[in-house]
């Protein structure tokens, strides 16, 4: 489908703003983008359909996201001494589905992740955002799905939201 260019522009802008919040470690503001029962999901497998009966790298509701964001700012979060820094590029933004209640947006990302004393890590993959809300100003994330190209590979630890 070819979506309305203005809507695509608004969706891209939404994703860029989200990226800025994450790269700025503004966890609370980022979390506020989610709908009340919104989920943040990083599958362990390509094409994984089921987050409940199969392990995931992240499958976090509002409660688990709340713990993670608080932990990242805890004084004695040893693995955040010093903190993780990220910069990401989001592109190829397309609206792939749309109905009266919301839309699905697909994009690709590159994240550079770094901590002092550790190797810089390059992450890449695809985002799928299910946004609910009738107008751009009202969009909330019902599901943010992050498909890493190496989701089923050998991993170093993940700490910050991708």
Tokens read off for 66: 């709340």
Binding characters for other proteins, 68-107, by CB under 8 A (x = yes): x-xx--xxxxxxx---------------------------
Q: How many residues bind other proteins (CB under 8 A)?
A: 34
CB of 50 to other proteins, least distance (A): 9
N-terminal to C-terminal alpha carbon distance within the chain: 28
Decide if residue 149 touches other proteins (CB under 8 A).
no
Decide if residue 29 touches other proteins (CB under 8 A).
no
CB of 116 to other proteins, least distance (A): 13
What is the rounded (10 degree) CA torsion for 65, 44, 49, 106?
A: 70
Q: Are strands 140-148 and 34-43 parallel, antiparallel or unpaired?
A: parallel
Decide if residue 158 touches other proteins (CB under 8 A).
yes
Decide if residue 59 touches other proteins (CB under 8 A).
yes
Compare residues 101 and 152 and give the one whose CB is closer to other proteins: 152
Compare residues 1 and 52 and give the one whose CB is closer to other proteins: 52
SS3 state of residue 102: strand
Question: Is 124 in contact with 112 (CB distance < 8 Å)?
Answer: no
Decide if residue 46 touches other proteins (CB under 8 A).
no
Q: Closest Cα partner for 51 from 131, 162, 124, 151? A: 151
């Amino acid at each position: 489908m070819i979506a309305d260019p203005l809507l695509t522009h608004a969706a891209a802008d939404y994703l860029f703003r989200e990226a800025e919040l994450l790269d700025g470690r503004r966890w609370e503001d980022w979390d506020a983008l989610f709908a009340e029962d919104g989920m943040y999901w990083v599958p362990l497998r390509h094409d994984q359909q089921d987050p409940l009966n199969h392990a995931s790298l992240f499958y976090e509701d509002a409660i688990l996201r709340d713990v993670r964001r608080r932990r990242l700012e805890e004084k004695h979060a040893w693995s955040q001494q010093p903190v993780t820094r990220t910069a990401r590029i989001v592109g190829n933004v397309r609206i792939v589905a749309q109905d009266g209640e919301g839309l699905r947006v697909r994009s690709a990302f590159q994240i550079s992740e770094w901590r002092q004393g550790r190797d810089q890590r390059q992450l890449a993959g695809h985002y799928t955002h299910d946004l609910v809300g009738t107008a751009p100003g009202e969009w909330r994330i019902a599901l943010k799905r992050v498909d890493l190209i190496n989701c089923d590979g050998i991993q170093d630890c993940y700490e910050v939201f991708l």
